[in-house]
Amino acid sequence: MLSVCIWALHGCGQYNSPMDSTLLLMKLGISMLVVLVLSVVAERVSPRAAGIISGYPAGIAINLFFFGYEIGPAFAAESALYTAAGLFATLSFVYLYYVASSHVTRCSVLFASLVSFLGYLAVVWCVQKVPVNWATALLIPIVSIFLFLYLFRSIENSIIADKVQLTARVLLLRAFVSAGIIIVVTSLAHAVGPAYAGLFAAFPSTMFPLMLIIHTTYDVRHVHTIIKNFPLGLGSLIVYSLFVALTYGSLGLLWGTLLSFAAATAYLAAYTFIMRRTQSRP
């Protein structure tokens, strides 16, 4: 799958030079590492933990950084506002996957993926029609988080009892799945302007491969557990996107990325602390 995708991109005129090929390999390497780490967390810790951690700005950070590196910091900063608003499409994607996989058992992975992707494109098209500014970039994802937490309220948390041995073959398969998806998504984003690029950057490029891996390896209820807890960590994505929009133009890519990660990490740490304190109360 990886070699076919790279060949297709060369044929389309992308990643033709050695520098472009290096950038492609960097994006793939980072993305595959993130997906593999999340899948291991789902197995060795719990799907609930993987769902929350999936809200950490991994795929979005990769996309926005390379937007800035290849096109310019101003382009990435403008795209970041649309990325924050596009989290509504991200949550719509995982919700549609949950609904489709709940009602179809035969070929449910393929069917749920198709329904989710088509729904994601429809929501992206709708969000692109909305004037996106600092107010809407903050309001849309916050309202979305509470909406989908309500929609996911009936899902029960589950753990993985019989774990698959993490052989080199299993890890390689996971890497190929994530690589193919990352290549396609990032290529589509580069073919459009900052609005659609930012919205496509919100595609769950690390979450989706994780869902596929867990769904095909274990049971659909484990995927639903990940989906249920995904909105809980999504606040860090909002924080990250808005900090990118705020800092990339003035501080540049390096310091803007570091500060955005620091802010997102602080949010996730504060959220985890508050939740633990709340659960420990009698």
Which range, 2-11, 73-82, 152-161, 273-282, is most confident?
73-82
Domain count within the chain: 1
pLDDT at 182 over 70: no
State residue 19's pLDDT score.
47
pLDDT at 95 over 90: yes
pLDDT tens, 57-80?
A: 777 887 888 788 888 899 999 999
pLDDT tens-digit readout, 121-141: 999 999 999 999 999 999 999
Residue 138 has a pLDDT of 93
Mean of pLDDT values over 216-233: 82
Lowest mean pLDDT among 57-61, 180-184, 251-255: 180-184
Question: In terms of Cα–Cα distance, which of 59, 53, 61 is closest to 80?
Answer: 61
Tell me which long-range contacts 43-48 makes (C-beta under 8 A, separation of at least 24): 43/160, 43/163, 43/164, 43/166, 44/163, 46/157, 46/159, 46/160, 46/225, 47/157, 47/158, 47/159, 47/160, 47/214, 47/222, 47/223, 47/225, 47/226, 47/229, 48/157, 48/225, 48/226, 48/228, 48/229
pLDDT at 256 over 70: yes
pLDDT score at 39 = 58
Least confident of 46-50, 72-76, 217-221: 46-50
**Global pTM value:** 0.80
Query: 34 and 59 in contact (C-beta within 8 Å)?
Result: yes
Name the residue with higher pLDDT: 19 or 275: 275
231 pLDDT band, cuts 50/70/90, is confident
Confidence of residue 15 (pLDDT cuts 50, 70, 90): very low
Instruction: Answer with the residue of higher pLDDT: 124 or 45.
Output: 124
Contact 219, 96 (CB under 8 A): no
Would you state the pLDDT for residue 9? 42
Per cent of the chain over pLDDT 70 is 69
| Domain interval for residue 249 | 2-280
Q: Taking 80 as the threshold, does the pLDDT of residue 190 lie above it?
A: no
For residue 281, pLDDT over 60 is answered with no
Mean pLDDT calculated for residue range 101-121: 84
The per-residue pLDDT for 151 is 93
Higher pLDDT, 145 or 189: 145
Q: Report the SS3 class of residue 105.
A: coil
